[in-house]
Amino acid sequence: MNVAPPSREKFPSQTDHPTFAAFYNWLASRTPSFRLVEPLRRETAGQAYALVLEVGVGTGLNFPFYVAGQVERVEAVDPDAAMLVYADRNQTKASVPITLTQASAEALPFADQTFDSAVVTLVFCSVTDPMRGLQEVQRVLKPGGTLLLFEHVRAQGAMAARLQDALVPLTTRVCGNCHWNRDTLQTVKAAGFHITRLRELPGVMHPVIVVQATRVER
């Protein structure tokens, strides 16, 4: 396994977890459990349309799922320089144009009402201020624009949730700031999105939500 930090001239460091980025990239190519997530990538990225924002692009694992002809262009952001280096390499797997920008969900460098759809997969567990990030996604979506998201979230059982809470100091340290105990569905609603479709996949410690939501007209 190669966990050497990648070269990063193109993306000067802001947030930076080179070891986690290398590990994530390695896992994605070699672990069957990552393949199990592919239907969820198809269900989210595969539904994206027109001008698309991808927040927290990571190494670019959603790139193969964007549909040519349905997607005009993807503007993909991530604050982590090390992740963006892998995403840059993985652009060859996309059949639609992709632009990479080093930026955080909490401060998206785009004008209001720019995007038709936004894709977010396995990101809001790591974002420092999830509410602010989701409000930013609202801001840059056009009225009626679509948020397509899947996230692992807080366990439903009290014991499992308490165990998640107890392990957060570890997961944040070794998994790129992952807070696996967050109730992201609640945050999506509180940020003002209208949920149009919700699938909840059970899991004792690792439940997953798949959400389709619209930016409410104001």
Q: Is 55 in the site for ligand SAM (CB under 6 A)?
A: yes
- Of the candidates 39, 106, 51, the one whose C-alpha atom is nearest the C-alpha of residue 76 is 51
> DSSP readout, 149-187?
EEEE---SSHHHHHHHHHHHHHHHHHTTS--TT--HHHH
Residue 129 contacts residue 190 (beta carbons within 8 Å):
no
- Of the candidates 175, 77, 179, the one whose C-alpha atom is nearest the C-alpha of residue 120 is 77
Q: Which stretch binds ligand SAM (CB under 6 A): 75-83, 160-168, 191-199, 206-214?
A: 75-83
Binder among 176, 181, 185, 207 for ligand SAM (CB under 6 A): 176
Q: Would you report the helix, strand and coil content of the chain in percent, each value rounded to 5?
A: 40, 25, 35
Q: Is 127 in the site for ligand SAM (CB under 6 A)?
A: yes
The alpha carbons of the chain give a radius of gyration, in whole angstroms, of: 16
Binder among 18, 58, 145, 207 for ligand SAM (CB under 6 A): 58
Query: What x/- string results for residues 1 through 30 when contact with ligand SAM is judged by CB under 6 A?
Result: ------------------------------
Binder among 94, 123, 137, 147 for ligand SAM (CB under 6 A): 123
Tokens 């366990």 correspond to 155
Q: Which stretch binds ligand SAM (CB under 6 A): 52-60, 88-96, 162-170, 206-214?
A: 52-60
Q: Is 88 in the site for ligand SAM (CB under 6 A)?
A: no
Q: Which is nearer to ligand SAM, 37 or 161 (CB)?
A: 37
Q: Which stretch binds ligand SAM (CB under 6 A): 6-14, 98-106, 153-161, 206-214?
A: 98-106
Query: What gap in Å lies between CA 15 and CA 104, rounded to an integer?
Result: 9
Q: Is 121 in the site for ligand SAM (CB under 6 A)?
A: yes
At 124, the amino acid letter reads F
Closest residue by beta carbon to ligand SAM: 58
Binder among 25, 90, 117, 126 for ligand SAM (CB under 6 A): 126
Phi-psi domain of 60 (left: phi exceeds 0; alpha: psi -120 through 50; beta: other): left
Alpha-carbon distance values, 7 to 2, 73, 77, 85, 182 (Å): 13, 26, 18, 7, 33
Q: Which is nearer to ligand SAM, 129 or 162 (CB)?
A: 129
Q: Which is nearer to ligand SAM, 3 or 144 (CB)?
A: 3
Give residues in contact with ligand SAM (CB under 6 A): 55-58, 61, 78-80, 83, 104-106, 121-123, 126-128, 133, 176-177
